[in-house]
Amino acid sequence: MADKDDVIKLLQQNVAPDVPRAEFSAVELNKKVFRVKRGNSSWILKKTEEGTKELLVHRLFSSYKVSQFDQWVLNENWICMTDLGLPILGEVLNSVGFTRESSGFFYAIGRVATSAFVAGMRDRNLGNVLYDVHLKRCYHVDYTSGLEERLSDRLFRPHRLLAYLIGRLYLDILSGIKEHKADFPPHSFETFYSGIRDEAKRMADCTIPLHISGKIVWKPYILRTHSLLGKIDSLWPKAVRLASRKYLERLPEHWRPQVFIG
């Protein structure tokens, strides 16, 4: 079990060995994740058994020019990323004036759903995506679930991951908003889908360098997933039907009829 002192020492050794330890301070976000500060600089350090995989997902996203934080592996147990001090989605839903901002917000959520889809990422709960209110942009954190969706599912049932992402990133958000007694955000589903499609078009033009796809044990996975970017439109109706069967109950009843019709 690491404590704040261990984490500060680890960061200090890696970023500024000559700087006195007293200049760093740390806060424990949970048992595995710490925020360390020095002056205006801030880092997130995370204990992980899968640092190499997280780095691979990071590199994959870099090839796709997906917005993300710098990330590096400190040792076999710890990764580190720059901290922009952004809130998680769960916190954004509490913020005042949210519904006025909802159009850019749902568009950004759609875009981040596409990168999750391509990277076969599950575990996209409201604590694993951050939102920049000013740039209206989302960022994934927690890459441990990257490349997790099985290749056979990607090949034969790709709409399932899309449906899951509709559940996690759209319906869960709506139910979070509902808890805060806002009105139904108009056109939010269409906007969410526009974000998905635009990001898919943008990513489809990117190439994954061989030195990255070659490192992925799941190389066919990435190639296959890339080709799905051009098929989002045809997968979408099936994904929406599955999401409405499987995940709609997360919403309060009187919101359900409005959901997929905008």
Contacts to Mg ion by CB under 5 A:
128, 142
Contact partner, 102, from ligand ATP, Mg ion, none, Cβ < 5-8 Å per class: none
CB of 149 or CB of 226, closer to ligand ATP:
149
Residue 93: contacted member of ligand ATP, Mg ion, none (CB under 5 to 8 Å, by partner type)? none
C-alpha angle 237/124/228, rounded to 5°?
40
Of 172, 169, 153, 131, residue with least CA distance to 235? 153
Residues 6+ apart with CB under 8 A from 229: 114, 118, 200, 201, 203, 204
Residue 53: both structure tokens together? 């995989």
Q: How many Å apart are CA 183 and CA 186, to the nearest integer?
A: 8
Nearest distance from C-beta of residue 225 to ligand ATP, angstroms: 21
DSSP letter at 88 equals: B
Tokens of 166: 């509709």
Which CB, 68 or 128, lies closer to Mg ion? 128
CB 47 → Mg ion: shortest distance, Å? Answer: 12
Residue 152 interacting entry, from ligand ATP, Mg ion, none, C-beta within 5 to 8 Å by type? none
For ligand ATP, the binding residues (CB under 6 A) are 29-30, 32-33, 44, 46, 69, 81, 83, 86, 88, 127-128, 130, 141-142, 144
Nearer to ligand ATP, 138 or 251 (CB): 138
The three-state DSSP-derived secondary structure of 190-259 is HHHHHHHHHHHHHHHCCCCCHHHHCCCCCHHHHHHHHHHHHHHHHHHHHHHHHHHHHCHHHCCHHHHHHH
In whole angstroms, how close is the CB of 38 to ligand ATP at the nearest point? Answer: 16
Instruction: Compare residues 83 and 198 and give the one whose CB is closer to ligand ATP.
Output: 83
Nearest to 66 by CA among 234, 213, 217, 208: 208
Q: Residue 81: which of ligand ATP, Mg ion, none does it interact with, CB under 5 to 8 A by kind?
A: ligand ATP
Nearer to Mg ion, 12 or 128 (CB): 128
Binds 119, which of ligand ATP, Mg ion, none (CB < 5 to 8 A, cut-off by type)?
none
